[in-house]
Chains A and B, each alone.
Chain A
Amino acid sequence: MTRKQKRMSVILAGLAFLAAATGLTFYALGQKASYFYMPADLAAASVPPGQRIRLGGLVEKGTIVRGQGATVAFSVTDEQKSVKVTYTGILPDLFREEQGVITEGAFGPDGVFVADSVLAKHDERYMPKEVADGLKAKGVWQESTN
């Protein structure tokens, strides 16, 4: 093989890798990425049961019910609509009423959102960025000025 042919073969191998990786990436983005919704968005989006999504909003006041064992039920609201969520496990330390929260999971056939992870990451104002942006877009929440 000449130098040129060798270089071509390396480049071809590289391209093959790139093609395979691109294919995988597109497939995975289509299948495995979960979209973020607020409760009011759900009506328009019509998410089928079983599809993984992220649901964000505020934990509605007075809706936290601790059932048997480690299962907790609560509602996530954006002050327009609210969605019932159940979660089995340990809630994050920052989980409180009327604080922002992001849950990840899928809707069950009964319309209750079954979360397998609950996040309450926050900035100084106890608000996950996605939730803050969503609420701001809906005009529900204004950033305090001080």
Chain B
Amino acid sequence: MVETGHFALVLAFALSLVQMLVPLVGARTGNQRLMAVGGPVTVTGFALTALSFAALASAYAGSDFSVASVWENSHSLQPMIYKITGTWGNHEGSMLLWVLILTFFGALVAVFGNNLPATLKANVLAVQGMIGAAFFLFILATSNPFTRLNPAPIEGRDLNPVLQDLGLAIHPPMLYLGYVGFSICFSFSVAALIEGRIDASWARWVRPWTLVAWMFLTGGIAMGSYWAYYELGWGGFWFWDPVENASFMPWLAGTALLHSAIVMEKRSALKIWTLLLAILTFSLSLLGTFLVRSGVLTSVHAFATDPARGVFILCILTLFIGGSLALFALRASRLTVGGLFHPISREGALVLNNLFLTTATATVLVGTLYPLALEALTGGKISVGAPFFDLTFGPLMLPLLAIVPFGPLLAWKRGDVIAASQRLMAAFALAIAAMLVTGLFIDGASVFAALGVGLAVWLVAGALTDLAVKSGVGSVAPAVMLRRFAGLPRSVFGTALAHLGLGLTMLGIVGTLCFGTEKILSMRPGETVELSGHTLRFEGLSPRKGPNFTEDRGRFLLISDGNEDGEITSAKRFYPVRQTVTTESGIRTLGLSQLYLSLGDENNDGSVVVRLWWKPLVTLIWGGGLVMMAGAAMSLLDRRLRVGAPARRRKPAAALASPT
């Protein structure tokens, strides 16, 4: 079974070479047969990659330690769920997951792309094949997950304890679905450059793929943030760590792409810019893969560092980014420019959005790469952390958030800011009220906190206003209004939900940062502590044995209004195989807020260091992410994204089929 998987992987590589060359030649020479090869080869390549991945997963599930990567990253005593998720909890397996998703998306284009012009489809599949071939080669040459050990060891070295968590089951697959989803947009762009023309159906394809990728990337980032929040025991939800930035940059660029693709689809404008943005977004995904996988950064994500891998990925990176940008420089001038629009219009607002987002992406890029560049050039080491990003990213984001509610209310081509402002009066009043209430009635609220709450409410109310205006609230009878509301295109709901989610996330961030409280103290069993109106009693430490770890569990009793209100436990876990200690934080969700506590070291006098946080509205940070995902899903369901195949082709076929 293991070797079958290995063989399937090699075969998939061979097919990816065919996929990248034959349809391309076919499209250039206009040979239908050669172009037709693309589809079946792509689908077969996906089936083989899936077989290969299944073989690896079954080796992990069955603790087959004759496979080197299983031996290095698994243990027979691990719970089954972590044995399986361990398949991608390591460098080799995660790269296999990466190409699995890549070939899956390629297969989707092959199967559902019948309505695409034949040459466009052939070129898209060929570009997908190039990406696939590069990564298959990378896997086979430097990170083969099927390397065998003979004789096989009897026990494995265990999965990194930090990764023994449900988060590993969700975070990497989601993130990869996002990263790799942008590869389709990239392939469409490069295909358009190769052909030298942008078809109208191009925009219709790029937009749903951007939506899919963006949706998963949003989920992956939110999940990763929540995972870091509860697993690392530091109580933070975002650290501006280079590895986090690596996933955040494609998200920012992808958000810009999402918006510019609307303009392109609706108005055939901004074609060249959208194309460039698609290339840049996937390039940032590749850069993220490079930063995380090459070992230039040390983190949980850099499973093992091997210079050969770093150099290889750097070559892939240079080839694809350099190649696509060179092609862009050569061919972009041939593409026709699209429709005209007034600066004050929906298009204008979306262009402004793009300016903000791409500039913000650039600052994050600089903050992430500058320390690496400085070290490579001068040997000096600096760290660029939250203070840097607060000062650069923050000022760029705040005005963007402030103008978000205007965008959907402006008409295409030529908009009316005054009319839009009038419609937003209610939302604006609400935001001002929220700001005043926060500033005047909540103790210790800073000006910044009041502004933050106001901005968040402005976003939420603005999104709702959009829905209200479009269903005609205040101008038509309630029955008509309801009918209109139900009949609104799903993309309108999608936009509103995504903007609403953004507001909720903002509210969560402001709530946690500005109104959160924190205490560090050493506690003895029986002692109580109070934090923002919640009383906790430390009950003591008790040892417990898990399947592959032992832990000292600190039990805390939550006392609300004098009554016992359940226990919160936080533990120090010891994993003997890796000789590693991890902290399991104790979290209790109360409404939208959370009480978070984390156990420290035991002092000599028997007391234990405990760190407690009260995090108001913190769940909204990730809840907002879920709402954004729901918005993207809603947009995906919209009718207009389903493109019909040309009717002219069907008619002759039908005529032939019915004899006269």
- On whether A and B touch (CB less than 8 Å), the answer reads yes
In the complex, what distance in Å separates the CA atom of A122 from the CA atom of B391? 29
| A34 pairs with B520, CB closer than 8 A | no
In the complex, the answer to whether A33 meets B382 with C-beta atoms within 8 Å is yes
Q: Which of B362, B383, B521 contacts A21 (CB 8 A)?
A: B362
CB < 8 Å neighbour of B600 from A10, A29, A90, A122: A90
Residues of B near A122 (CB, < 8 A) are: 298
A17 to B399, alpha carbons, bound, how many Å?
A: 12
| B580 in the interface (beta carbon within 8 A) | yes
In the bound complex, do residue A34 and residue B382 qualify as a contact, i.e. CB atoms below 8 Å apart?
Answer: yes
Determine the chain B residues whose CB is within 8 A of the CB of A123 once the complex forms: 298, 302, 305
Check if B266 is an interface residue, CB within 8 A of chain A: no
- Residues from chain A with a CB closer than 8 A to the CB of B609 are 69-70, 90
B137 at the interface (CB under 8 A from A): no
Bound form: Cα–Cα A93–B629 in Å: 34
Q: Closest chain A residue to B348 by CB distance? A: A10
Q: Within 8 Å CB of A14, what residues of B? A: 355
Contact of B521 among A18, A20, A35, A70 (CB under 8 A): A70
Q: Which of B580-603 contact A (CB under 8 A)?
A: 580-583, 598-601, 603
Q: What 1/0 mask marks residues of chain A from 66 to 86 whose CB sits below 8 Å from any chain B CB? A: 100110000000000000000
Contact indicator B600/A70 (Cβ below 8 Å): yes
Interface size on A, residues (CB 8 A): 41
Interface status of B448 (Cβ within 8 A of chain A): no
Residue-wise, chain B 99-133 has the 8 Å CB interface mask toward A (1 for contact) of 00000000000000000000000000000000000
**With A17-B356, A17-B359, A69-B521: A130-B598 Cβ-Cβ less than 8 Å:** no
* CB neighbors of B among A82-127 (8 A): 88-91, 93-94, 104, 121-124
Whether the Cβ atoms of A3 and B340 lie closer than 8 Å is: yes
Is B474 part of the binding interface, using a Cβ–Cβ cutoff of 8 Å? no
Q: A90-B609, A124-B304 are in contact. Are A33 and B384 (CB under 8 A)?
A: yes
CB 8 Å contact bits of A23-62 with B (1 = contact, 0 = none): 0110111011111100000000000000010100000000
CB within 8 Å of A: which B478-528 residues = 520-522
Could you tell me if A21 and B302 are in contact, using CB atoms closer than 8 angstroms? no
Our pick among B298, B300, B581 for the contact of A129 (Cβ within 8 Å) is: B298
Does B392 make an interface contact (CB < 8 A)? yes
Q: Measured between C-beta atoms, what is the minimum distance from B33 to chain A in Å?
A: 43
User: Complex Cα distance A144/B616, Å?
Assistant: 48
What residues on B are CB-neighbors of A140 within 8 Å? none
Q: Which of B337, B360, B371, B383 contacts A104 (CB 8 A)?
A: B383
Given contacts A13-B355, A24-B363, A70-B521, contact A29 B388 (CB under 8 A): yes
The digit string for B350-381, where 1 denotes a CB below 8 A from any CB of A, is: 01100110011011001100110000000011
The smallest C-beta distance from B389 to any residue of chain A, in angstroms, reads 8
CB of B566 closer than 8 Å to a CB of A: no
Given contacts A6-B343, A14-B355, A123-B305, contact A28 B392 (CB under 8 A): yes
Question: Beyond A17-B356, A70-B600, A90-B520, is A28–B385 a contact (Cβ under 8 Å)?
Answer: no
- Which of these, B359, B382, B395, contacts A35 with CB under 8 Å? B382
Residues of chain A contacted by B340 (CB below 8 angstroms): 3, 6
Residue of A nearest to B161 (CB): A93
Residues of chain A with a CB closer than 8 A to B366's CB: 25, 29
State whether B600 touches A35 (Cβ < 8 A): no
Interface check B533, CB cutoff 8 A: no
- Complex partner residue of A89 from B352, B383, B385, B520, CB under 8 angstroms: B520
B611 contacts partner chain A, Cβ-Cβ < 8 Å: yes
A89 in contact with B302 (CB, 8 Å) = no
* Chain B, range 388-426, C-beta contacts under 8 Å to A: 388, 390-392, 395-396
Q: Is B387 an interface residue (CB 8 A)?
A: yes
| Residue A9 lies at the interface, judged by CB distance under 8 Å to chain B | yes
Q: Provide the bound-state CA to CA distance between A124 and B351, in Å.
A: 47
The residue among B337, B581, B599, B601 with the most chain A CB atoms within 10 A of its own CB is B601
Check A66/B343 contact, CB under 8 A, given A34-B383, A36-B381, A90-B611.
no
B554 is an interface residue with CB less than 8 A from chain A: no
Select one of B371, B385, B391, B604 contacting A24, CB under 8 A: B391
Judged by a CB distance under 8 angstroms, whether B233 is at the interface is: yes
Which residues in B have their C-beta under 8 angstroms from that of A128? Answer: 298
Question: Does B299 interact with chain A (Cβ within 8 Å)?
Answer: yes
Interchain nearest-CB distance for B150 vs A (Å): 20
Q: Given A21-B396, A93-B581, A121-B298: A28 and B388 within 8 A (CB)?
A: yes
B581 touches which one: A9, A28, A94, A124 (CB < 8 A)? A94
**Cβ-defined contact, B384 with A32, below 8 A:** yes
Q: Give B352 Cβ to nearest chain A Cβ, in Å.
A: 8
Interface membership of chain B positions 286-313, coded 1 if the CB is closer than 8 angstroms to chain A and 0 otherwise? 0000000000001110101100000000
B599 to chain A, nearest CB (A): 8
Shortest CB distance B609–A (Å): 5
Within 8 A of A (CB), among B58-86: none
User: Which residues of A sit under 8 angstroms from B390, Cβ to Cβ?
Assistant: 32
Query: CA–CA, A25 to B441, complex, Å?
Result: 36
- In angstroms, how far is the closest chain A Cβ from the Cβ of B531? 14
Residues from chain A with Cβ under 8 Å of B599 in the complex: 90
Q: Which partner residue on chain A sits nearest B396 by CB separation?
A: A21
Q: Nearest Cβ distance between residue B522 and chain A, in whole angstroms?
A: 5
Pairwise interchain contact B601-A91, C-beta atoms closer than 8 A: yes
- B304 with A70: CB separation less than 8 A: no
- Minimum Cβ distance to chain A for residue B78 (Å): 19
B-contacting residues, A4-20, CB 8 Å: 6, 9-10, 13-14, 17-18, 20
Pair B603/A66 contact, Cβ less than 8 Å: yes
Residues of A within 8 A of B600 (CB): 70, 89-91
The residues of A that contact B581 with a CB separation of less than 8 Å are 93-94
11 contacts between A and B (CB under 8 A): A18-B362, A28-B391, A32-B384, A32-B388, A33-B383, A34-B382, A35-B380, A52-B387, A70-B609, A91-B600, A104-B383
- Beyond known contacts A66-B601, A93-B233, A130-B381: 13 more, CB 8 A cutoff: A9-B343, A20-B359, A24-B392, A25-B366, A32-B390, A32-B391, A69-B522, A70-B521, A89-B611, A90-B583, A104-B383, A121-B299, A128-B298
Sort A-B residue pairs by CB-CB distance and give the 10 closest, nearest first: A36-B381, A90-B600, A32-B387, A28-B391, A70-B520, A93-B581, A129-B298, A32-B388, A21-B359, A33-B382
